[in-house]
Structure 1
Amino acid sequence: MNHVTAKSPADCDAAEVRDFVSLVLQGGEVSPHGLSQRVAGARILSFLRRDGSLAGVAGLKRPEASYRRRISSSAKFELSQELLPLELGWVFLLISARGAKLSLPLCEPLIQAAGSAGIFATSRASNVGMHATLAKLGFRGAGEEWFSKQTAQKLCLFVRDSSRPVV
């Protein structure tokens, strides 16, 4: 049975934050440097449990200005703090949980928590399943693809304007 819980990092115990960070790092697409602090500064975290075991995570991030500038420059698309203050990220499902359309229920509470705020997200260009989830959540592709600093894969940018209705 699948169960999704979403809560502020301040409401998570140390083990939950540690497990969240551990799953994100398993994806191999996020720098471990400062990750625990970035997770602690997120707006909200989402946890997917299957039969009581953690199987997926996602977060609604408050991206730092330097990161926002780097993504803007890489994608050749302006990520205005005013229009797109939040980022949907750290979406990761264990291999055993993939292909079951679980990224949508994992991410929906984060979109709801954003209210009317604009959100951006990045995804591997080859991750068509995540692209479908982002489209269902009201995101559209934006800018140009670029190569990841973490992997040799291309990334693409998605945005969800603040004018979108909440899911």
Structure 2
Amino acid sequence: MNQQISTGLTSYRDGYFEFNFTGNYYFEIKKPSECSIAEIHLFYLKLRNGNKVTPLNLHEKIFSAEYLGFCYGGGNLIGISGIKKPTANYLEIVHKKAGIIRNTDQTILEIGYSFTEEGFRQRGISTKLKTMLLRKISRHNGIIFSTTATRSSQRFLLANGFIARGFPYQGMFDDNIVYFEKSSIGM
């Protein structure tokens, strides 16, 4: 048994195996507090591998997420995604870059931190993780947003009721980042 995959004996977690024509995968959604230090660190390493996030305070940001999604294949972590709790400062920066004016007291969550190892892309791993994460927050009353320059992620967001808002902007790691959001009330 892979020591990195929790057995689920200590608390309930969403997790299951899936077999499709491209292989066997184990998907798991957990709160950061349910993760081992090794799992948090592996999540961190995958994010750094993707080279799309700044390492500044990254461990703390991962620990403060609402949920983390993991996909294992062949006993190795091959894909990740998460539901983040953005800070007010971060929201202000993103909204300003996208040209969005917002005054709200609604709770805002962000779907992001998505990364799949290159050899496992285009197999639906990221889609499955993000779908499972959205299901976990289906009772969230507020706004869910995501920013991405990746076409497949943009298609996923549109297919799941998100609406592109504002205008594309230059990010630290990507060009033409698009801001998507949806109100999760009645999701």
Instruction: State the TM-score, normalized to the length of structure 1.
Output: 0.90
Give 2:117's match in structure 1, choosing from 57, 77, 94.
Answer: 94
Give, in angstroms, the shift of residue 80 of structure 1: 5.1
Unaligned runs of 5+ in 1: none
Cα distance change on mapping 1:24 and 1:55 into 2, 3 Å: same
Most deviating of 115-124 and 7-16: 115-124
Distance 1:96 1:72 in 2: 34
Aligned residues: 162
Give, in angstroms, the shift of residue 134 of structure 1: 1.4
Matched with 2:68 is: 45
Q: Superposed, which structure 2 residues align to 1:1-167 within 5 Å?
A: 1-78=24-101, 82-83=105-106, 85-114=108-137, 115-117=139-141, 118-124=143-149, 127-149=150-172, 151=173, 153-163=175-185, 165=187
Distance 1:22 1:48 in 2: 14
Higher RCO (C-alpha under 8 Å, 6+ residues apart): 1
Give, in angstroms, the shift of residue 79 of structure 1: 5.0
RMSD: 1.6
Distance 2:115 2:171 in 1: 17
Percent of aligned positions that are identical: 24
Cα distance change on mapping 1:138 and 1:37 into 2, 3 Å: same
Look up the equivalent residue of 2:60 and give its one-letter code: Q
